[in-house]
Structure 1
Amino acid sequence: MSDAIKHECGIALLRLKKPLEFYKQKYGTAFYGVEKMYLLLEKQHNRGQDGAGLASIKLDVDPGERYISRIRSNQSQPIQDIFGQINARINQELELHPEYRDDVALQKEHIPYVGEVFLGHVRYGTFGKNSIENVHPFLRQNNWMHRNLIVAGNFNMTNVKELFEDLVQLGQHPKQMADTVTVMEKIGHFLDDEVTDLYQECKEKGLSKQEASPVIAENLNIARILKRASKNWDGGYAMAGMIGHGDAFVTRDPAGIRPAYYYQDDEIVVVASERPVIQTVFNVPFESIQEITPGHALIIKKDGRVLDEKVREASVKKACSFERIYFSRGSDAEIYQERKDLGKLIMPSVLKAVDYDTENTVFSYIPNTAETSFFGMVEAANDYLNHHKINLILQNKDNLSADRLKEILDVKLRSEKIAIKDVKLRTFITEDSSRDDMVAHVYDVTYGVIKPTDNLVIIDDSIVRGTTLKKSIIKMMDRLNPKQIVIVSSAPQIRYPDCYGIDMAKLETLVAFQAMLELLKESNKYYLVDEVYAKCKAQEHKQDSEVVNYVNELYNQFTDEQISDKIAEMLTEPSVKAKVKIIFQSVENLHKACPKNLGDWYFTGDYPTDGGNRVVNRAFMNFYEGKDARAY
């Protein structure tokens, strides 16, 4: 993606079902869980590089022994940092106590992270400070083992203020108004309720507090806790947690916005944000990995039972399509094919833009995430070219010479690697004029392959703000002196803010929104901005379920092509000599390519939860009032 945006987070939960001696005997180490957690997080480093954390629980330890360990880092390479520290601690213990080396019981008793239940997290900070306090997993401590709660998630809630007020009404005093804190305290409150109720039952049966403790742990109803805690959650989430005695869970939002996959066998249960991560780390086939059902929780009890429990009523599935376009690793079999299809489906528009002149057109891509959709675009172009060759042969079949046949068959698609990203270049100068010049050199170009009669088609996976296109890519492409530069976005126009985890919270930063405003000015319709503001303002105190997205009324004044052409005009600086055209994927084709991920609210304004409409209206009011603030 030419416009870097922060997004998502990654979770990994691992439960070892066998005693640690089993893994020592079969795999040669009792640190099997730690090693697998390192791989699960490292294979998801694309989902977050602002912070990483790991927590582990040891099962069935004696009172007085440490059974929960947690480490977090916000260093520049946080995954390497936390596992470097863990490795150093393990080696230190083994050097000081050689007797631990082959004694799994001693390792479990004395060495941290030698446990059976693990929860890891990689984080992108969508907003707020990137302090260590913001890094997952979060820990809610208590001297009662089953009241300890560890939580990590990939989520954003749209109604944090409401959730905060709920906690206040319950008599709590939360330390900050943040969705992570409110969510954990909400779960914690109902965990405490459940424990209290179970203890009361044990007490009535004449059990002592010590006798009650294992009974409570065995009978703790995690599904009921999550049902009560998540009742008012509005947002996209994959929430993972561990209870101190060893129960674990992952619960997913009713619309399936945030992803979560799992695999289980007789040795392990593992959950991760991406399917190929599990495939690679545990060498298991695609079809053995399942998706956690939207609105459900996967619950792993201390005794190893795995339960799939409904926590909330599922809504229409609106899984995030940006996962398929950009965020998730393209090594997933389905995602790879979907990205290719995105390139194939936009090819008819590309051919039209170059007047079907493939002989004088060079195809390329913006590295690196657009590479797969580029392959699909090239396949579609080759299909067109082959069809064209067949027609020429049939037209000339009566007097077709060998030379003419060779001439027809020799016509090939021209594809080159034109843009090369200089990953080491840093825009360290803060002065605006100097910084712009540095941004212009983030990409290098390949010289000598473009003729002045050529069209240059270059595909990107999406266009958010367009800054890098304007300041760098289009200028660099223009140095090659093509006749026309066609920028292709494999995603539709991004018109609306996201409120479920992607860092696109402000309308005015979106180039499609800016283009629409320019068109309103040019067509003497800018008064509609005032009207939409008044409509948004009138809904400010309504319930979320009653709020309507009025911002789409502004976009409805123009066709997709009009907005695309205005974006091209706005991103083309006066110094650029080539004609510039920008083509966006249609929403219809996006759904064809990604039929299982129909979440398209950033393109259509069709938000999957009630809170989404409030967020987009708040974002518009912030823009209108000149407030540099987030809408949620």
Structure 2
Amino acid sequence: MCGIVGVVSNAPVNQLIYDALLLLQHRGQDAAGIVTQQDRKFFMHKAKGMVRDVFRTRNMRALPGASGLGQVRYPTAGNAFSEEEAQPFYVNAPFGVALVHNGNLTNAQALRAELYSTDHRHINTESDSEVLLNVLAHELEKATRGAKLGPDEVFAAVAGVHRRVRGSYAVIAHIAGRGMLAFRDPFGIRPLSFGRAPDGGVMVASESVALEGTGYAPERDLAPGEAIYVTLDGALHAHPCAERAQLSPCIFEYVYLARPDSVLDGISVYQARLNLGETLAKRVVSTVPPDEIDVVIPVPESSRPSATELARLLGKPYREGFVKNRYVGRTFIMPGQAVRKKSVRQKLNAIASEFAGRNVLLVDDSIVRGTTSQEIVQMAREAGARKVYLASAAPPVRFPNVYGIDMPTKEELVAHGRTEEEVRRIVGADALIYQDVEAMKRAIGALNPAVQGFDASCFDGVYVTGDITDGDIARMNQQRVKTGEDDEDASRLTLPNATTA
């Protein structure tokens, strides 16, 4: 999961891209980068860290031009501590192409070998995004042999990318002196939308909140397999480039990853989470009699909409029982499991008066490893709760994700190979209530009938691309992001309820 943005404007875009990246900061906190274009020249600055730390005044002044792109990085493959793997990436031939990518290629290893042996292109990092850039560059070169670069050639190149690349990818690229290209994989797994400014500028971004927050009116989401090409004068061309496309977005975007004020593929993230609370309420009633629940308390932040709706339907008080310290880094940044466990207490503190003498229903968005859930249940007990029930707005996470969310291996997932009762004993709750997989899909899918399905692979083990084997998962686990600080703890997922969280 990363956040990406690209702009073609009539005015300098450095501050605009910076502001958009701040709005997408939740999608990646490991590194940030911006590239701008002026007079067919690219100007780039990227480094590890948060947006506010990476870009100083001197860096912003060195990013001139009326078009550009940026990324906030959440690494899922490669080396998290390599400055070279921060994006954007750049190649100088053909034309000069800079690119940012959100997603994960599942055939990156095979493509890397193919690029070297057949296409004679060099990959200098472990990043699958550099692989994708070189595939795009090669296809652009093929499409323009004996021809000028225009929309038809650009779309032919994207079609070539779709034929070769597997996995999830939302991409924005700039072609020096020509324009901006954006496209989604044939399943639309990772989100991408575009909008316009009153002056005719065009912005493409991972979430609608980045458009709205910078004065761009959202126009629509890119369709799966679709590409748009925006020339530097603002003319927009769109074309479907995949032979077979179906809209199957990642359901985890709605459960946790996206901001609640975003709309992805026509679905309000906030409303999706309210709907999850409604379906979860039915599960709770079948497990714990409502008269045994005194209060509903969310685990900040993503679970709040689900918790409020659940409390309303149960007729129970909704209370904020945990206060979050916003000045502590996300738990997934912590280098080791012992440090990560300690950081849960640094991030959250219980308000004892909301727990003392009560039967408390805690609501979280999901449970991954279970260690954070265990810690939070214990915090509730220490604050005086008589009984602690735990409800998850998402179903049990039983399978690895291969499309850009760095889930732990299946052996590290608390629900893998265990019954719900076994998980309940591990986290220490008096009752554990999970969302139902099919109910989750119906609750979210009902908000847009045009969505043909979801990738819910971490819950149901069904990978929408249809080409993932156990061998592929084992190989990708070996290629998971290298932290350089803790080889035993490579997962960087930030779910607030598991330490991966």
Aligned mates of 2:472, 2:120 — CA distance in 1 = 32
Tell me, in whole angstroms, the C-alpha distance in 2 between the residues paired with 1:629 and 1:367. 24
Query: Structure 1 314/264 Cα, relative in aligned 2: closer, same or farther at 3 Å?
Result: farther
* Mapped contact 1:491–1:586 kept (Cα < 8 A): yes
CA shift, 1:164, in A, is: 1.5
Q: Distance in 2 between matches of 1:52 and 1:234?
A: 25
Secondary structure at 2:270 match in 1: helix
CA gap of 1:620–1:263, structure 2 versus 1, over 3 A, is: closer
- What is the aligned partner in structure 2 of residue 289 from structure 1? 219
The one-character-per-residue Cα deviations of 1:512-547 (angstroms, maximum 9, x if unpaired) are 11x52xxxxxxxxxxxxxxxxxxxxxxxxxxxxxxx
CA distance in 1, matches of 2:201, 2:37: 15
Do residues 340 (structure 1) and 274 (structure 2) align? yes
For residue 186 of structure 2, what is the amino acid of its counterpart?
P
- Give 1:159's aligned residue: 107
Q: Aligned pair in 2 of structure 1 residues 115, 220: CA closer, same or farther (>3 Å)?
A: farther
| Alignment of structure 1 residues 237-316 onto 2, 5 Å | 237-264=169-196, 267-282=200-215, 284=217, 288-316=218-246
Establish whether residue 139 from structure 1 lines up as the match of residue 90 from structure 2: yes
CA distance in 1, matches of 2:339, 2:245: 50
Deviation at 1:615, TM superposition (A): 5.6
Judge conservation of contact 2:223–2:247 (CA < 8 Å) in 1.
no
CA distance in 1, matches of 2:454, 2:325: 34
* 2:170–2:183 Cα contact (<8 Å) kept: yes
| 2:382 paired with 1:479 | yes
Residue 614 of structure 1, CA deviation: 4.2
Take 1:113 and 1:451, find their aligned partners in 2: how far apart are those partners?
55
Distance 1:435 1:378, change over 3 A: closer
Shift of 1:433: 7.4
- 1:228 maps onto 2:160 in alignment: yes
Which AA in structure 2 matches 1:376? E
1:46 has 2:37 as partner = no
Describe how 1:95-114 pairs up with structure 2 within 5 A.
112-114=62-64
In 2, Cα distance between the equivalents of 1:195 and 1:434?
53
CA distance in 2, matches of 1:475, 1:425: 21
Note closer, same or farther for the CA distance 1:442–1:40 as it changes in structure 2 (3 Å cut). Answer: closer
Alpha-carbon distance in 1 for matches of 2:247, 2:88: 27
Post-superposition shift, 1:589? 1.7
What's the counterpart of residue 289 of structure 2?
355
1:220 to 1:455, Cα distance in 2 relative to 1, 3 A? same
8 Å Cα contact 2:162-2:185 kept in structure 1: no
RMSD: 2.9
Judged with a 3 Å threshold, the aligned counterparts in structure 2 of structure 1 residues 230 and 166 are, in CA distance, closer, same or farther, namely: farther
Aligned residue identity for 1:84 = T
> 1:381 Cα shift?
1.7
Supply the AA of the counterpart residue of 1:444: N
- Alignment deviations for residues 62-105 of structure 1 (CA, whole Å, 9 cap, x no partner): xxxx722111121x333442253334x3xxxxxxxxxxxxxxxx
Larger Cα Rg: Structure 1 or Structure 2? 1
CA distance in 2, matches of 1:443, 1:263: 37
Shift in alpha-carbon separation, 1:314–1:376, aligned structure 2, 3 A: farther
> For 1:590, which of 440, 454, 465 is the aligned residue?
440
Query: For 1:512 and 1:339, how far apart are their aligned partners in 2?
Result: 22
Higher strand proportion, which one?
2
Q: Please list, as runs of the form range in 1=range in 2, the aligned pairs for 1:549-628 lying within 5 A after superposition.
A: 563-572=419-428, 580-595=430-445, 596=451, 598-614=454-470, 618=474
Q: What residue in structure 2 maps to residue 457 of structure 1? A: 361
1:78 is aligned to 2:37: no
Which residue of structure 2 aligns with residue 415 of structure 1? 318
Instruction: Kindly indicate whether the alpha-carbon contact (under 8 Å) linking 1:354 and 1:361 is maintained by their aligned counterparts in 2.
Output: no
Report the Cα distance in structure 2 between the residues aligned to 1:35 and 1:262, rounded to whole angstroms.
18
The CA deviation at 1:429 is: 11
Task: Find the residue that maps to 2:75 and give its secondary structure.
Answer: coil
Counterpart of 1:183 (choices 132, 140, 145) is 132
Cα-to-partner distance string for 1:440-489 (whole Å, 9 max, x where unaligned): 5643212234454x32101000101111122x211111124433211110
Q: Structure 1 residues 620, 239: CA separation in 2 closer, same or farther (over 3 Å shift)? A: closer
Q: Structure 1 residues 486, 615: CA separation in 2 closer, same or farther (over 3 Å shift)? A: farther
Partners of 2:476 and 2:71 in 1: how far apart? 33
Distance, in Å, in 1 between the alignment partners of 2:343 and 2:189 is 37
Aligned length: 468
Find 2:146's aligned residue among 197, 203, 210: 197
| Offset, 1:181 | 2.0
- The Cα offsets for residues 292-313 of structure 1, whole Å up to 9 and x where unpaired, read as 0101111113443211111113
Give CA deviations for 1:418-443 in whole Å, capped at 9, x if unaligned: 22234456899999879756655643
Name the CA distance, whole Å, in 2 between partners of 1:443 and 1:250. Answer: 39
CA separation of 1:429 and 1:163: change in aligned 2, threshold 3 A: closer
Structure 2's unaligned 5+ residue stretches are 446-450, 479-486, 492-501
In 2, Cα distance between the equivalents of 1:171 and 1:251? 25
Q: Residue 11 of structure 1 is aligned with which of 4, 19, 24?
A: 4
How far apart, CA to CA, are the structure 1 residues paired with 2:123 and 2:354?
Answer: 62
Going from structure 1 to structure 2, the CA distance change for 1:361 and 1:616 (only over 3 Å counts) comes to farther
Do the aligned partners of residues 617 and 217 (structure 1) sit closer, same or farther apart at CA in structure 2, a change above 3 Å counting?
Answer: closer
Superposed displacement of residue 281, structure 1: 1.3
**Alignment of 1:379 onto 2:312:** yes
1:379 is displaced (CA, Å) by 2.1
Q: Give CA deviations for 1:258-299 in whole Å, capped at 9, x if unaligned.
A: 000011365111100001221221153xxx520001011111
Residues 196, 216 of structure 2: 8 Å contact kept: no
Q: Distance in 2 between matches of 1:165 and 1:289?
A: 39
**Identity %, equivalent residues:** 24
Measure the CA separation in 2 of the matches of 1:434 and 1:119.
35
Do the aligned residues in 1 keep the contact of 2:409 with 2:477 (CA within 8 Å)? no
Which amino acid is 1:242 matched to?
H
Q: 1:585 to 1:248 in 2, by over 3 A?
A: same
Q: Write the deviation string for residues 313-358 of structure 1: whole angstroms up to 9, x where unpaired.
A: 3433220111111111111261111111111111122233332206
Partner of 1:540: none
Which one of the candidate residues 121, 136, 141 is aligned to 2:71?
121
Measured at CA, do residues 283 and 224 of structure 1 come closer, stay the same or move farther in structure 2, by a change above 3 Å?
A: closer
User: Is the 1:463–1:489 Cα contact (8 Å) retained in structure 2?
Assistant: yes
Q: Secondary structure at the match of 1:182?
A: helix
Aligned partner of residue 353 in structure 1, secondary structure: coil
Task: Give the partner amino acid of 1:589.
Answer: A
For residues 78 and 219 of structure 1, do their structure 2 counterparts lie closer, same or farther at Cα, with a shift above 3 Å needed? closer
Cα offset, 1:617, TM superposition: 5.4
Alpha-carbon separation, structure 1, partners of 2:336 and 2:124: 38
Once the two structures are TM-superposed, the CA of residue 170 in structure 1 deviates from its matched residue by: 2.5
- Structure 1 residue aligned with 2:349: 444
TM-superposed CA distance for 1:587, in Å, is 1.0
**2:8–2:232 CA contact under 8 A, matched in 1:** no
Following the alignment from structure 1 to structure 2, what is the Cα–Cα distance between the partners of residues 271 and 430? 33
User: Could you tell me which residue of structure 1 aligns to residue 400 of structure 2?
Assistant: 497
Q: Distance in 2 between matches of 1:190 and 1:72?
A: 26
TM-score, normalisation: structure 2: 0.85
User: Does the 8 Å CA contact 1:117/1:246 hold for their aligned counterparts?
Assistant: no
Letter in 2 for 1:272: A
- 2: distance between equivalents of 1:565 and 1:299? 52
SS of the residue corresponding to residue 468 of structure 2 reads: helix
Are the structure 2 counterparts of residues 318 and 83 from structure 1 closer, same or farther at C-alpha, using a change threshold of 3 Å?
Answer: farther
TM-score, structure 1 as length reference: 0.69
d(CA) in 2 for partners of 1:433, 1:164: 36
CA shift at 1:9, angstroms?
A: 0.3
**Is 1:130 aligned to residue 105 of structure 2?**
no
Q: Letter of the 1:476 partner, please give it.
A: M
